[in-house]
Amino acid sequence: MADARTCIGHIRVRLEVTARRDGRRCDTDDVGYNPYRKFTAKPADYVLVAICILLAAGLVAWAFLG
């Protein structure tokens, strides 16, 4: 356990400590994810939501009228 290893059945798993904002490595560093970035919706986001709402409304109408 001193080297952050544990045994689950017959499988040995290595646990790694991820970094925080204090300079240690983080598990999201490699993918470029920034949880503090402000979200800005793109036009495609609004189109996708509109399509989903229309599809849901169509399915509800089909269930009641169909």
Q: Is residue 49 helix, strand or coil?
A: helix
Longest dimension (CA), the chain: 66
> Span 14-24, mean pLDDT?
59
For the segment 31-63, what is each residue's pLDDT rounded down to a tens digit? 777 778 898 999 999 999 999 999 999 999 999
What is the domain partition of the chain in residue ranges?
5-31+40-65
Stated pTM of the model: 0.48
Sign of the alpha-carbon torsion through 60, 61, 62, 63: positive
